[in-house]
Amino acid sequence: MTKRTFTTLKDIVLASASPRRRQFLSDMGIAFRIRPSVAPESLPLPGEAPEAYVMRAASAKVAEVAAHETNAVIIGADTIVVLDGAILGKPGSPEHSLDMLRRLSGAAHTVFTACVVHIPDAPAESTVAASRVVMGRHDDALLKAYIRTGEPADKAGSYAVQGLGAFLIEEIQGSWTSVVGLPVSHLVRILLKHGCIAPNPGDTP
C-alpha cells in the first residue's frame, strides 16, 4: 500500500529553510528541491495592514528565488503574529521573548500566513490564511523555563505551536498548518489546479 498521496509532475522549489514546511510537503509525497530565499527581511510600512505586509514579504521571497529558477514552480511563505493590531516578529533577545509571551499570555491573537506560488508562464497564485489563537495564562517562571529551551529564539511571537510551545496554546480557530507556517489545503488546491501534482494512482484500485 502506497504512503504517497500525490505524484509530482513539475519541478517544484521550496523557497524556505523551514523544517516544518519541508515536512508538510514530504509527508504528502510531493517531490521538491530547497532553495531558501536570501531576500532581505522587510519591515511593515507605516499604516500597512498585516495581511498586506505578510503577502509582500512572501512575494519578495518567491521573486528572489524565481529570478534564479526560471523554469520551476516556486513555493514561498511568510508567517506573522498579530496582537491588538501590533505585529510581533522574531525576538531579539530572551528579554524580548519574555515581553512578547507576557503580552500573549491569557489573550487571543491572530496568526497570518501568506503563501505565494510562482508558476512559469502563468500568473502567480497567492493566499493569506488567518487563524485565531488563544494562549493560556502562564506565570513568568514557566515562560522563562520555556525561553531557556531556546525554541522561541527564531519564532514569530516567540513560540512554536508545533514544538515544545504546544502547552502554551488553549485553542485554535482556523488552520493549524497555517499557524505552523504553511496553509496546506490552499497550497494543494493551487498545485492541483496548475497540474503541478496529481493524486497518486497507486498499485491497487
What pLDDT tens digit does each residue of the chain (205 aa) get?
Answer: 457 899 999 999 999 999 999 999 999 999 999 999 999 988 899 999 999 999 999 999 999 999 999 999 999 999 999 999 999 989 999 999 999 999 999 999 999 999 999 999 899 999 999 999 999 999 999 999 999 999 999 899 999 999 999 999 999 999 999 999 999 999 999 999 999 999 998 755 4
Residue 130 inside a domain? The answer is: yes
How many domains does the chain fold into? 1
Task: Write down the residue that cell numbers 502563468 correspond to.
Answer: 122
Residue 73 inside a domain? The answer is: yes
Q: What is the CATH number of the domain that holds 76?
A: 3.90.950.10
CA 104 to the chain's CA centroid: 19
Total residues found in the chain within this entry = 205
Residue 48 inside a domain? The answer is: yes
The structure's pTM equals 0.91
**Quick check: is 11 catalytic?**
no
Dist CA 89 CA 82 (whole Å): 9
Dist CA 139 CA 136 (whole Å): 10
Note down the domain range covering 49: 6-199
Residue 101 inside a domain? The answer is: yes
Residue 175 inside a domain? The answer is: yes
CA 29 to the chain's CA centroid: 19
Which set of grid coordinates corresponds to residue 134? 488563544
Which is the catalytic residue, given 11, 27, 78, 84?
78
